[in-house]
Structure 1
Amino acid sequence: MELPPPRLVWGLGQLLGFWLLSYEQYFQGTLILLVLTLFLLVGFLHLDLGLFTPLARGTAKSPVTNIMFLKTHKTASSTVFNVLLRFAEKHNLSVALPEGAHFHLGYPWLFLARYVEGSEQEGPGQQRRFNIMCNHLRFNPPEVQKVMPEDTFYFSILRNPVFQLESSFIYYKSYVPAFQAARNLSAFLASPWTYYNRSASLNNAYARNNMWFDFGFDNNAWPEDGYVRARIAAVERHFQLVLIAEYFDESMVLLSHVLHWTLDDVAYFKLNSRSQSSVTSLTPQDQERAKRWCALDWHLYQYFNRTFWARIHTELGPRRLRNQVALLQERRHQLTDLCVQDGAPKKQSQIKDLQLKPYQSGEADILGYNLRLGLDNATLQLCQRMVMPELQYMARLYALQFPGKPPKTITFLKG
């Protein structure tokens, strides 16, 4: 076979090389165009590339472990309480628990360091420091700082005072003097001074501006603008974050972000919640009366509702928020399928495990959970902690932290 002339071979090689070079340049040009297009989309649409990372972005940093949570009343705070105790147990952290047989840290009196079990174990005149504080107390900063480290992260939660008051009325009906004689909340709101005596008992704090009271302020003060602004500024000085109960999933996402926790750390089941049959529907007129009656709480709630959403916008943005809320809700559905018998909470009379029965108060119908049968030991422990009511969980941690002390007695479990 006769070979082609060398000049022809050289010419064909040049042609092929030119074609390959052109193809490579075309490919590189196309790739560069695609990359530029992606960056333009990120710029115009504010695309959060963090959406493609699983769980919380903060997992790259060390999780915050020194935390003070001001547990306000009837604000979904029992669910936050459970989240914090599970985190403490998981990471072997110390918890500032009520001393002796008590279940509150001196409430409704202003908090004192001596209300904490073991606070003076370091020696005479020396205060022991704890990682987590989250039991009910009336905030008193100098005393709290005696038992919490200097780098403690402070946060709390608020609820629309209209619905917080409705919940308090049902839950504390037989306990609060101002509520006892009122036929219902509507009758109370129609003429609150008929029932309310500011000097009768500190327990009346549950009946008016209860969240304001929990922050350590006078719940009977006149809601004058200067006074309100000064007290709100004091809350901002002491607390790095205030969550909003009506947006609980969004609150848990923001909390996990700020504390550098994973979403699994803030996954939850609702605790200390009522059956719908024990919830009172308030007329628009009653709602307006409640806002006026609890004007200090209303100012507090409005202000921190605004700052909550401003922080969400600044630190997360709408896309990341939606993505993280969806992930949290999906995880809750998975845990419900894994843990909860029939996939729904039950009335107290239907709960089989005595240690999982919630405390009942007033006219509230507090729900609890039955766990699925046949769970392996590790799964059973996970599920038990997630559904354990706060009194039982508190008693459990107290026994673990202070094995030499008499255990806390939960009287209603003894029948």
Structure 2
Amino acid sequence: MFLSPSHIPRIILFLVCMMVGFTLWEQIFLLNKSFNAINRNWNQLLEISPMNPTPCYPVMNIMFLKTHKTASSTVLNILYRFIENHNLTVALPVSKMHIFHYPRPFKAEYVEGFPSIRQKHNVICNHLRFDLTEVQKIMLNTTQYFSILRNPVSLLESSYVYFRYLPSFNKTRTLNQFLISPLSYYSPHETYNMLIRNTMWYDFGYDNNAEDKEDYVYSVLKEIEQRFQLILIAEYFDESMVLLKNTLCWELEDVVYFKLNFRSKDTIQNLTQESKERAKQWCSLDWKLYKHFNRTFWSRIQDTIGLEKMQQEVEILQARQKEFMQVCLLDGKATDKSKIKDSVLQPAQAGEANILGYNLKPGLDTKTMRVCRSMIMPEHKYINLIRDHQKQKIL
């Protein structure tokens, strides 16, 4: 079959259309393939980096200012467990002590091994009177600073029972009596006068007998704000632990706790309303310190976590705590010192307070026993374990 000359233009047009169509199809195919690849990469990116807050990393370098009578012993236990679990280096007091020569202002030379051991520490957390310059000599530059405060009215009541032997306290039968005329019994020259008036103010490194002047108080509060990244509140301990967990990027298990160094309710003295107001006046520097950081505490929660999410996380923490109590503790609760069977778990006693402790359930497996035992270990016993472990690391 022969093509006439009139057919040739049509054939050429047909071939051109075929070539153009094939080229367009090829481009669409490649574009679709490229789009699928981009889509897969995007999905992978979403899986790796979801549209959530930037992932954080656990804070390992910590300075905890352990204030007196503020539930700080429970916080200390949490820190000791974190130190053990992460094999951290902790600054320990010299001479096998459990405090850094309190009530003297802290000095780096009070740390075991200073200055012969040039390595700086991950954690410092035992009782001391704060001095930033000295603390910085033994801590890393990336250290996060935090502490805990308590309502000074209940703090003073606790101090009265724990430190009943102090001359200013033992001249009266009750705290109500003392607060009627505290200056009749108190001496600012008494060695441990800071345990009687403005204790937290003193622990932060300031004069507990200073005049309560507005400019002075304001400047101190600003100094503390600038140095300490976080101030917790004892009355809201569970909320404090959630906030601590989120701030330090820790896990829930890191902040699950049993209350330590707390007394039986029959040793708590009931204060009249007049006595409570007098206590605020007597410890006015502590009262202003507490009020200020109680306010910033809740502002911090609203700005970072939110009240609704905070409540959810508190409920999760409390549920986990109950699980630990059921697994670890005989009778699932604290008990009187006279009923504690293991001498290592006997809490130290002080003044007229009856410090409670715990018995472990029998028959726990080795791993569970280790975890449970560490959660109820009194601080004066736990520090010895930490000390022995640290010596082995050095050797």
The letter of the residue matching 1:379 is T
Out of 271, 278, 281, which is 1:289 matched to? Answer: 278
Q: Is the aligned partner of 1:128 residue 2:128? A: no
The residue aligned with 2:182 is 192
Q: Is the aligned partner of 1:323 residue 2:312? A: yes
The residue aligned with 1:382 is 371
Distance 2:98 2:131 in 1: 18
Tell me, what secondary structure is at the counterpart of 1:285?
helix
The residue aligned with 1:402 is 391
The residue aligned with 1:108 is 103
Residues 58, 260 of structure 1: 8 Å contact kept: no
Distance 2:98 2:82 in 1: 20
Q: Is the aligned partner of 1:260 residue 2:249? A: yes
Instruction: Using the TM superposition, give the Cα deviation of residue 101 of structure 1 relative to its aligned residue in structure 2, in angstroms.
Output: 2.7
The residue aligned with 2:167 is 177
Tell me, what secondary structure is at the counterpart of 1:402?
helix
Tell me, what secondary structure is at the counterpart of 2:384?
helix
Distance 1:365 1:58 in 2: 46
Tell me, what secondary structure is at the counterpart of 1:145?
helix
Distance 2:393 2:133 in 1: 29
Tell me, what secondary structure is at the counterpart of 1:69?
strand
Give a deviation string over 1:84-113, Cα, whole Å, max 9, x none.
000000000011111113210110000000
Instruction: Using the TM superposition, give the Cα deviation of residue 404 of structure 1 relative to its aligned residue in structure 2, in angstroms.
Output: 10
Out of 61, 68, 71, which is 1:73 matched to? Answer: 68
Q: 1:179/1:59 Cα in 2 relative to 1: closer, same or farther (>3 Å)? A: farther
The letter of the residue matching 1:340 is L
Residues 177, 204 of structure 1: 8 Å contact kept: no
Q: Is the aligned partner of 1:161 residue 2:156? A: no
Residues 210, 297 of structure 1: 8 Å contact kept: yes
Unaligned runs of 5+ in 1: 1-52, 406-415
Distance 2:80 2:90 in 1: 8
The residue aligned with 2:4 is none
TM-score (norm 2): 0.85
Give a deviation string over 1:301-322, Cα, whole Å, max 9, x none.
0000000000000000011101
Q: 1:143/1:77 Cα in 2 relative to 1: closer, same or farther (>3 Å)? A: same
Q: 1:404/1:249 Cα in 2 relative to 1: closer, same or farther (>3 Å)? A: closer
Give a deviation string over 1:40-75, Cα, whole Å, max 9, x none.
xxxxxxxxxxxxx9xxx9994210000000000000
Q: Is the aligned partner of 1:137 residue 2:135? A: no
Out of 238, 252, 269, which is 1:280 matched to? Answer: 269
Residues 64, 260 of structure 1: 8 Å contact kept: yes
Give a deviation string over 1:229-267, Cα, whole Å, max 9, x none.
001111111100000000000000000000000111000
Out of 75, 82, 92, which is 2:77 matched to? Answer: 82
Q: Aligned pairs, how many?
A: 344
The residue aligned with 2:239 is 250
The letter of the residue matching 1:190 is I
The residue aligned with 2:217 is 228
The residue aligned with 2:26 is none
Task: State, as a whole percentage, how many aligned pairs show the same letter.
Answer: 51
Residues 138, 216 of structure 1: 8 Å contact kept: yes
Distance 2:168 2:392 in 1: 41
Distance 2:170 2:220 in 1: 31
Residues 157, 244 of structure 1: 8 Å contact kept: yes
Out of 88, 91, 94, which is 1:96 matched to? Answer: 91
The letter of the residue matching 1:209 is N
Instruction: Using the TM superposition, give the Cα deviation of residue 403 of structure 1 relative to its aligned residue in structure 2, in angstroms.
Output: 4.7
The residue aligned with 2:339 is 350
Residues 58, 262 of structure 1: 8 Å contact kept: no
The residue aligned with 2:294 is 305
TM-score (norm 1): 0.81
Residues 118, 128 of structure 1: 8 Å contact kept: no
Tell me, what secondary structure is at the counterpart of 1:336?
helix
RMSD: 1.6
The letter of the residue matching 1:180 is N
Q: 1:128/1:181 Cα in 2 relative to 1: closer, same or farther (>3 Å)? A: farther
Instruction: Using the TM superposition, give the Cα deviation of residue 402 of structure 1 relative to its aligned residue in structure 2, in angstroms.
Output: 2.1
Distance 1:286 1:205 in 2: 19
Runs of 4+ in 1 over 6 A off after TM superposition: none
Instruction: Using the TM superposition, give the Cα deviation of residue 120 of structure 1 relative to its aligned residue in structure 2, in angstroms.
Output: 1.8
Give a deviation string over 1:114-138, Cα, whole Å, max 9, x none.
111112233xxxx431111100000
Give a deviation string over 1:169-224, Cα, whole Å, max 9, x none.
100111x22112121111111111111010132x1110000000000000001111
Distance 2:253 2:150 in 1: 24
